[in-house]
């Protein structure tokens, strides 16, 4: 009898639970849902990946909807404001085109609009050694090493003349290789200050030879060096000896003794009869 009562109680509990669950489910399904629609704006984005220096055309652009409360600063809503302007930074597909990534109006495309304000772009001749076997590519940082002979010097000296210089282009390529592959070029263009430009020009006028040393991108420390010559390198960094001067032996004047004084002669006249003679003593 007790077992039958327990079974009945459990059955009633299951039925009551099922009825309540069904009622709650129906209530939630029939409850109206209020959807708050966020205002949107139309933003111009890149239709595909665009490289630095690209002159924007209509086919490079497209529209997307963007939350009005989260639009990036400097965005554009019309394509007409972007056509014929150059990019100074690369873009990926669907990336908003911002004013900070564009060259000023009327400056065109290519490398010139990408030159930072106050900087200059200068090119130096490169080869496999100078270009670090092709790994000096766009965006890398390098030190410029000069080997030249100063006026009056016996041999050339090698010195780091510029440090932590950004590479603007490798050859005519102004876009970084996405895979970082090396590329052989004959000219490397650098972004330098006007003062550094004068240094490079002065070194070139002295028939100096340049070489580039690749830097770690996070290494910003400036190395303090004095330069070195081949003789110092062979001698283990010892200073160069002063040039030896062969001097003629000093001539000592010879002292010649004066001859002894000669006593004055004495004349004696001798008379023998009618003969006279003079004898000197």
Residue 155 lies in a domain: yes
pLDDT at 70: 86
pLDDT at 90: 83
Q: How far is CA 128 from the centre of its chain?
A: 18
Let me know whether 82 and 182 are in one domain.
no
DSSP 54-78: -B--GGGEEEEEEEGGGPPTT--S-
Residue 149 lies in a domain: yes
Let me know whether 122 and 222 are in one domain.
yes
Q: Give the HSE-up count for residue 280: Cα atoms under 13 Å, Cβ half-sphere.
A: 3
pLDDT at 243: 47
Token pair of 63 as six digits: 């529209």
- Of 67, 97, 112, which closes a domain? 112
Let me know whether 101 and 128 are in one domain.
no
Residue 33 lies in a domain: no
pLDDT at 251: 62
Range of the domain at 108: 40-112
Let me know whether 81 and 190 are in one domain.
no
| Secondary structure class of 45 (helix, strand, coil) | strand
User: pLDDT 10s digit of each residue in the chain, 281 long?
Assistant: 567 777 777 887 888 888 888 888 787 777 776 666 778 889 999 999 888 788 899 999 999 998 888 888 999 999 999 988 888 888 889 999 999 888 888 777 777 787 888 889 888 876 655 656 677 888 889 998 888 887 777 788 888 889 999 888 877 666 666 666 666 677 888 999 999 998 888 877 766 788 888 888 888 888 888 887 777 777 765 554 544 444 555 665 565 566 666 555 566 666 666 666 666 65
Token pair of 231 as six digits: 């003789």
Residue 239 lies in a domain: no
- Of 59, 84, 112, which closes a domain? 112
pLDDT at 51: 81
Residue 127 lies in a domain: yes
- In this structure, is the dihedral angle defined by the CA atoms of residues 78, 81, 85 and 91, taken in order, positive or negative? negative
> Residue 196's closest CA among 132, 144, 135?
144
- 8 Å CB contact between 238 and 232: yes
pLDDT at 257: 60
Q: What CATH number does the domain containing 53 carry?
A: 3.90.1210.10
Let me know whether 126 and 228 are in one domain.
yes
* Cα distance between residue 153 and residue 224, in whole Å: 22
Residue 188 lies in a domain: yes
Let me know whether 206 and 169 are in one domain.
yes
Let me know whether 145 and 215 are in one domain.
yes
Euclidean distance between the first and the last CA atom of the chain, given in angstroms as a whole number:
192
Token pair of 100 as six digits: 């900070």
Let me know whether 105 and 213 are in one domain.
no
User: Tokens 């040393």 belong to which residue?
Assistant: 213
β-pair partners for 268: 279
Residue 240 lies in a domain: no
- 8 Å CB contact between 267 and 279: yes
Let me know whether 108 and 49 are in one domain.
yes
DSSP 25-38: HHHHHHSPPPP-PP
- Of 86, 112, 138, which closes a domain? 112
CB neighbour burial string for 254-268, b if at least 16 within 10 angstroms, e if fewer: eeeeeeeeeeeeeee
Let me know whether 198 and 225 are in one domain.
yes
Length of the chain: 281
pTM: 0.54
Q: How many separate domains does the chain show?
A: 2
pLDDT at 187: 81
- 8 Å CB contact between 134 and 210: no
Quick count: other Cβ atoms within 10 Å of Cβ 147?
16
Let me know whether 97 and 187 are in one domain.
no
Quick count: other Cβ atoms within 10 Å of Cβ 165?
21
- Cα dihedral angle (84, 88, 89, 92), rounded to 10 degrees? 10
pLDDT at 206: 67
- 8 Å CB contact between 168 and 120: no
pLDDT at 226: 82
Burial of 75 (0-12, 13-18, 19+ CB in 10 A): middle
| Secondary structure class of 195 (helix, strand, coil) | helix
Residue 2 lies in a domain: no
Let me know whether 61 and 48 are in one domain.
yes
- 8 Å CB contact between 101 and 46: no
């Amino acid at each position: 009898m007790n077992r039958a009562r327990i079974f009945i109680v459990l059955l009633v509990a299951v039925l009551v639970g099922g009825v309540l669950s069904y009622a709650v489910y129906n209530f939630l399904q029939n409850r109206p849902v209020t959807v708050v629609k966020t205002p949107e704006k139309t933003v111009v984005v890149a239709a595909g990946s665009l490289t630095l220096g690209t002159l924007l055309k209509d086919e490079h652009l497209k529209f997307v909807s963007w939350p009005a409360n989260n639009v990036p600063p400097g965005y554009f809503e019309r394509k007409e404001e972007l056509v014929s302007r150059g990019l100074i930074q690369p873009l990926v597909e669907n990336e908003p085109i911002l004013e900070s990534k564009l060259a000023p109006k009327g400056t065109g495309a290519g490398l010139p609009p990408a030159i930072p304000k106050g900087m200059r772009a200068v090119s130096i001749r490169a080869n496999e050694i100078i270009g670090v076997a092709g790994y000096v590519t766009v965006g890398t940082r390098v030190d410029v090493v000069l080997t030249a002979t100063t006026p009056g010097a016996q041999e050339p000296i090698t010195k780091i003349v510029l440090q932590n210089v950004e590479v603007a282009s490798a050859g005519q390529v102004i876009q970084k290789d996405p895979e970082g592959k090396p590329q052989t070029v004959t000219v490397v263009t650098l972004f330098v200050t006007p003062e550094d430009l004068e240094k490079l020009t002065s070194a070139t006028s002295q028939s100096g030879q340049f070489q580039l040393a690749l830097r770690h991108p996070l290494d910003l420390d400036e190395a303090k060096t004095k330069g070195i010559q081949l003789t110092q390198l062979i001698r283990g960094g010892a200073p160069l000896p002063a040039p030896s001067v062969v001097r003629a032996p000093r001539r000592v004047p010879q002292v010649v003794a004066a001859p002894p004084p000669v006593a004055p002669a004495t004349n004696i006249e001798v008379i023998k009869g009618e003969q006279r003679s003079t004898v000197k003593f």
